[in-house]
Amino acid sequence: MPRKFLKRIMPDNSKMREHPHLRKFGQRLAEPRLWHTNRRSVAGAVALGLFVGFMPIPGQMFVAAALAILFRVNLPVASMFVWITNPLTMAPIFFYAYKLGAWVLNEPMAPIGFSLSWEWLSQEFLSIWQPLLIGCTLSGLVAAIIGIITVRIGWRLVVIYNWMQRQRRKKSGP
């Protein structure tokens, strides 16, 4: 059952409630739906985490946690799926999101020379922020939809498989 697997790998909700950064949410973390491992809650959390993960914003895990509380989906799963963008995947994901946004806006791609400085941020980023934001939003929406569909179909297939295994065991006898 997917539920058993998720319960095994997820942190304990009492430990999560005591986390220094999550303690700010107070009693809102006592909501049971934030910790449920059912098909709807996990699918919604995957979609939310993927969408936020594609956004070029700092503090993605905090944003995902706040949105998980707002939409009452599984908090740990939403926070975990934000890591689709990590230090290894961030540059290619944002580059292709920029390409997608430039294509949607029908703008030529500007040659980008990246340097981690205030000068680059104040000059270069201002020229690419619109295509980047549109591309990230579209990529995030597509990833969220694919995530929901994948989790729902995958969950259902695992449930059907487990049910068929139980039926075979019943037929074969003790």
State yes or no: pLDDT of 174 exceeds 50. Answer: yes
Residue 115 has pLDDT above 70, yes or no: no
- DSSP letter assigned to residue 25: G
Q: Does residue 12 or residue 76 have the better pLDDT?
A: 76
Section 89-104 average pLDDT = 91
Tell me, what's the pLDDT at 1? Answer: 44
Per-residue pLDDT at 10: 66
Give the number of domains in the chain.
Answer: 1
Looking up tokens 């690419």, which residue turns up? 128
Residue 73: which domain range?
2-172
Alpha helices in 54-117 (DSSP H): 60-71, 75-81, 90-105
Of 32, 99, 103, 38, residue with least CA distance to 69 = 32
Identify which of 1, 6, 5, 34 has the alpha carbon closest to the alpha carbon of residue 156.
1
User: Residue 101 phi/psi, 5° resolution?
Assistant: -65, -40
Name the pTM for this structure: 0.80
Q: What is the mean pLDDT of residues 153-160?
A: 92
How confident is the model over 145-160, as a mean pLDDT?
94
Determine the average pLDDT of the residues in 120-133. Answer: 80
58 or 148, which is more confident: 148
Q: Cβ distance 61 to 82 under 8 Å?
A: yes
In this prediction, residue 35 has a pLDDT band, given cuts at 50, 70 and 90, of: confident
